[in-house]
Structure 1
Amino acid sequence: MQNKPKTGVLLVNLGTPDQPTSHAVKKFLSQFLHDQRVVDMSRWLWCPLLHGIILPVRAPKVAKLYQQVWMEQGSPLLVYSKRQADALAKVLDCPVELGMTYGNPSLLSGIERLIQAGVDEVVILPLYPQYSATTTAAAVDGIGKALGCLTLVPALRTIDAYYQHPLYIKALAESVRSSWDKHGQSDYLLCSYHGIPKRYADNGDVYPQHCVATTELLAQELGLDESQIGMSYQSRFGREEWLQPYTDKTLHQLAKDGVTSLDIITPAFAVDCLETLEEISEECREEFLHAGGHSFNYIPCLNDDELHIEMMAALVQR
């Protein structure tokens, strides 16, 4: 009788610099921004611009921002992702490894550790609730490249999106309710999602539809109407039009409309990272208060919350 395949899980996130230094940030951003899934400009135009202007200017600035959020154990994204992997391994009682699309630990190293643990079937779980070619598809591309380095390739199953999963929505809702219990409910709940160029959506990327659906499902779960909850997109880069409404402009409009207290959550991020801890929690706080708001409350990502891990386990077992 043939033995049942031993299954392992590879959690995939975008990645992070190894250190909060200009050199490490430049190395990480170079790998990230070279991916045509992320920036689809012609290479002969993009590469000179990237290496001649963008990286030399942005790397030192971004390094200073990383220094503000860096934890004793390392980058927040890596620290929380490791905690997720450890917690999920305990729940599933199977090997769980971590791999980053860019940077370390690499996707190849994660798969190799699973193979060394005796795994012959791998469930790939990209930590992106909403599908986008810039994230989920880029992770799948990276997996394909990693497999090209292996002689023995394990069986693979990939989870591409989970924005509609009841446990994901429940976990988001419980994180909001927990914040309300601690700080009180604000006038308005803003769901801020990482943006992508509008052109990508026009060309077929379903990401904005997934973000809209996430917001609607969360509103239903919390019993909020359109006057109490909304959504926006953050982290735009360059002069090209990105998905709208933009988070920074939305904050100004909300304050102008008389919203004095604001809760903000980032449902597209599975763990806290530079974009949530610095851009949202710090920069957006200053924007809203400067625009006339009185109270700003950032609701942390789900990270290794028990319901979040329960949801991951359900995805893998399904």
Structure 2
Amino acid sequence: MTIGHHLDALHGLPAHAFSGAEHQPRPVEPDAVAWRVTGDVYDAEENWTDAFARFCVAVDTTRVRALIVGAWEEAYDTDPSSVIEALTAARDRFPALRALFLGDMVVEECEISWINQTDVTPLLTAFPRLEELGVRGGSGLRFPAVSHGSLRRLVIETGGLPAEVVRGVGGSDLPALVHLDLWLGTPEYGGDSEIADLEPILSGARLPNLRHLALRNSEMQDAVAAAVASAPVVPRLEVLDLSMGVLTDEGAAALLDGQPLTHLKKLDLHHHYLSEPFVERVRQTLERGGVEVDLDRGDAEEDEDDEGGMLGYVAVGE
């Protein structure tokens, strides 16, 4: 599966594409939408920074609460350094900004694993009141350990998340963080993290307010499930999301045989490779206790490997 649709909302606000047209059919209040500013990926007639400059003139940026960064020119070959520089340079013009998403591109613009990224933490430094940060694309992505007192939601969507980024997130002091969503991906696209890299996150030591943990889209989903089964962070969670990966009966057994999960409001396992008996076991164990469980197999498909075994795939790899 690839990314086929742009974000339709951010920070609880509907997404609205900035066109810059002089005569809008209907005025849009600056604080009523999540503004999507985009350039062109191929044969760019307008680059992102020029579109952003027009946006800053046309819209009262002091009232903008959410901003979606769409395509920038040659994202398959160029990182968003100039985009981040433009945003940080304009930080004083966005006192109300609370949510930012970097890289909202669909497959026609750039495959997720081809999107070049860079160090995104200058955005957190520039916007100390930011509550939500989303990033799509893992190639070249960096996230050195950072301290941020306001961030409540961090989402990193990749076909392969570098271990260095996982360690950076785990080493960050994010006392307000409630929602953490990491798409770990596969080694073929740079997802080289191991379970040891996840331990600072699973300990929860720097994440005292975490309530929603998603470690998904992973080829090593069984190992992730086994680690989660005894993770200190789990008792404080309301939502645990291990979806979109190659989760088999082995991982589900480890999860069910570990610490109790009946305190959860939701367990998300959609896109899985569980046998029907294990699907029923998960349902009986957790739904009976009032936990909402998503066990939709979705488009999870298997192939036979060279040794006659079955080979599963993550939901989003390219």
Between Structure 1 and Structure 2, which shows a larger proportion of helix residues? 1
- TM-score computed with the length of structure 2 as normaliser: 0.32
- TM-score computed with the length of structure 1 as normaliser: 0.32
